Structure 1
Amino acid sequence: MQGRPAADEGADAVKPAKGHWQLDDIAYAQIDHAAIADDEDMFYLLMSASFVETGSDTYATNLGAHYAQYPDIQQWLEDRWEHEELQHGASLRRYVETVWPRFEWQKAYDGFFAEYALLCTQEALLPDPRLEMVARCVVETGTTAYYHTLRELSKEPVLTGLLGNIRNDEVGHFKHFLGYFKGLQAQDPVGRLRIASALYSRLKELRESDSDVALRHVFAHKGDLFSDRQRSFDDVAQRIYHLISSGLPAQLAVQMLLKPLLLPPRIESCLHRPISRLACRMLAY
């Protein structure tokens, strides 16, 4: 089953876990429009993120099927991970539509999803369930670093709080995927060389990520928003990627990336510097 285009009332379909923050907790009516409305960089970053997060049910469905033989993992993916990811999309969509109401979000998203859905296939997942968990850890490292950076860039208080919520969720997701990997690894170990290979290959894929697809569709549908800037797509993309790259929390990313290798502390310490340099290059969008 593939994901689906977002309905206009898609936020109502989100069912977050009990005790988890909800859309009603976000004070959209208190947004300081003067602090955000003219920020072209955040426009592209937030719109792109809202697209990717809204389409996350596609990955959730594929992952659920991938781990059908592990009921506890499948249940968490369906009951928690998918709902929280969709809530990220719903909350970001509500924010960007509040700040930039003239942007035709649904139309732009539909174009994005038509292309994005072709990339989200069972074949794109690693056949070995242990190594796919490693790949999930890399993805969650990237999203944690991304939302951490956006939060640092934010000058609007409501947005800062929202991005903090999402970042914390992504850290929680990383911990779950890492925990499931450790459980699978304890039952049937896979060698560190294969783990390192999975880490590296998924890091390379982040450079050709769904964010690229989203950004193109946001730019294509921006209409007369920021028309006074007269920037080409290549100029916008280069500026956005540089902005994210220069603000990435490298130390945090490296600490997370090393975890699936399950290295002794002394060896992990020795590898920290070279892995840090590699991560900065690979996460540099």
Structure 2
Amino acid sequence: MQRPASMASTWNLDRIPLESIDLQQVRCREDLFYLATAASFIESGSDLYTRNLIRYCTGETELVDWLQNRWEPEEMRHGRALSAYVRHVWPKFDWERAFAAFFEDYSRQCTLDEFEPTPGLEMAARCVIETGTATFYQALAEHAAEEPVLAGLASRIRADEIDHYKHFYRYFRQYRAGQPPGRLRVLTALGRRVLEARRGDAECALWHAFTVRQPEAASDKASFQALNARLGQQLKRHYPVTMAVKMLLKPLDLPTALTRAVQGPLIRAARWALR
């Protein structure tokens, strides 16, 4: 990926150069509005998942400390940065009302009942989620290349998500060393979380952005599904398939020779599926 000009600067997620955005060029980009807004909802609601995960992992002092003092603040910072971007570029959009509706919906789905049966397997499942977010933000950075501020914002969040993946993977390995779950159970947990991610939070967030921005179309499910499909197709062109496959295979801890044998066919299959 060619680095946007803004990436060479020293700005960070607490200080975004909103004043340098070409509003006339960006404001008409429906795709960037929906992608940035949906992402801002999910990131801004991440404290609910964190609280649930902390309750689930009570007694795991090191993990709980990291969740409270690193993971949650960084996720919430992503939400603040993305919502600041959306509010600046599209000030007429009622972000607060749309987020409140999303969060009410999301909070009914985000419960402890959705967690894996053991903390170790939940750490593996979290690797799937972090893979999804890291690859999404890489694709968004590529897709938004003509808007360097959003591209830079997405790239910075991607870096955080990769770091989060590394932490969850490390905690998974610690659990695995003490109580090995077996590859089949790990594979089942990974597969279950992949399927949930495909039908979950992103579509919910997009729906609430859609109904507030286009209230006249709120009952038009066909228009929403067409929008969802269109955005998906646009991101697919930039999706980092190789990166995703490598990250998803890692918790299985396959022998090196087997990893090499399956990695290529999986990458080709995934690229074919994304056509």
Change over 3 Å in CA distance of 1:248–1:69 after alignment to 2: same
**Alpha-carbon contact 1:137-1:178 (below 8 Å) kept:** yes
- Residue type matched to 2:110 in 1? C
**Alpha-carbon contact 1:134-1:260 (below 8 Å) kept:** yes
Change over 3 Å in CA distance of 1:258–1:121 after alignment to 2: same
Change over 3 Å in CA distance of 1:260–1:281 after alignment to 2: farther
RMSD: 2.0
- Residue type matched to 2:241 in 1? A
TM-score of the superposed pair, with normalisation by structure 2: 0.89
1:180-259 maps to which residues of 2 (within 5 A)? 180-223=171-214, 232-259=223-250
**Alpha-carbon contact 2:63-2:171 (below 8 Å) kept:** yes
**Alpha-carbon contact 1:103-1:223 (below 8 Å) kept:** no
Greater helix share, 1 or 2?
A: 2
How far off its partner does 1:281 sit?
7.9
- Residue type matched to 1:48 in 2? A
1:34 pairs with 2:34: no
Change over 3 Å in CA distance of 1:279–1:74 after alignment to 2: farther
Who is 1:11 aligned against?
none
Who is 1:119 aligned against?
109
Who is 1:6 aligned against?
none
How far off its partner does 1:44 sit?
0.6
Number of aligned residue pairs: give it. Answer: 259
How far off its partner does 1:224 sit?
8.3
Who is 1:72 aligned against?
62
Equivalent of residue 264 in structure 1, options 250, 255, 261: 255
Change over 3 Å in CA distance of 1:190–1:281 after alignment to 2: farther
Who is 2:156 aligned against?
165
Change over 3 Å in CA distance of 1:249–1:22 after alignment to 2: closer
Change over 3 Å in CA distance of 1:163–1:272 after alignment to 2: same
The C-alpha deviation readout for 1:243-265, integer Å capped at 9, x for no partner, is 22332100000010011011221
Determine helix, strand or coil for the equivalent of 2:27: coil
- For 1:40 and 1:224, the matched residues in 2 are separated by 15
The C-alpha deviation readout for 1:156-189, integer Å capped at 9, x for no partner, is 1111111111000000000000011011111111
How far off its partner does 1:273 sit?
2.8
1:92 pairs with 2:76: no
TM-score of the superposed pair, with normalisation by structure 1: 0.86
After the TM superposition, which of the residue ranges 88-97 and 196-205 deviates more from structure 2? 196-205
% identity of equivalent residues: 41
The C-alpha deviation readout for 1:73-94, integer Å capped at 9, x for no partner, is 0110111100100000000000
**Alpha-carbon contact 1:44-1:215 (below 8 Å) kept:** yes
Who is 1:101 aligned against?
91
Change over 3 Å in CA distance of 1:48–1:75 after alignment to 2: same
Consecutive unaligned residues in structure 1, runs of 5 or more: 1-19, 226-230
Who is 1:16 aligned against?
none
Determine helix, strand or coil for the equivalent of 2:213: coil
- For 1:279 and 1:131, the matched residues in 2 are separated by 24
- For 1:224 and 1:184, the matched residues in 2 are separated by 48
Change over 3 Å in CA distance of 1:281–1:194 after alignment to 2: farther
| Moved >6 Å (runs of 4+) | none
Change over 3 Å in CA distance of 1:186–1:170 after alignment to 2: same
- For 1:145 and 1:243, the matched residues in 2 are separated by 14
- For 2:21 and 2:243, the matched residues in 1 are separated by 29
- For 2:165 and 2:158, the matched residues in 1 are separated by 11
Who is 1:228 aligned against?
none
Who is 1:7 aligned against?
none
The C-alpha deviation readout for 1:122-152, integer Å capped at 9, x for no partner, is 1111121111011000000000110000000
- For 2:161 and 2:125, the matched residues in 1 are separated by 14
**Alpha-carbon contact 1:47-1:218 (below 8 Å) kept:** yes
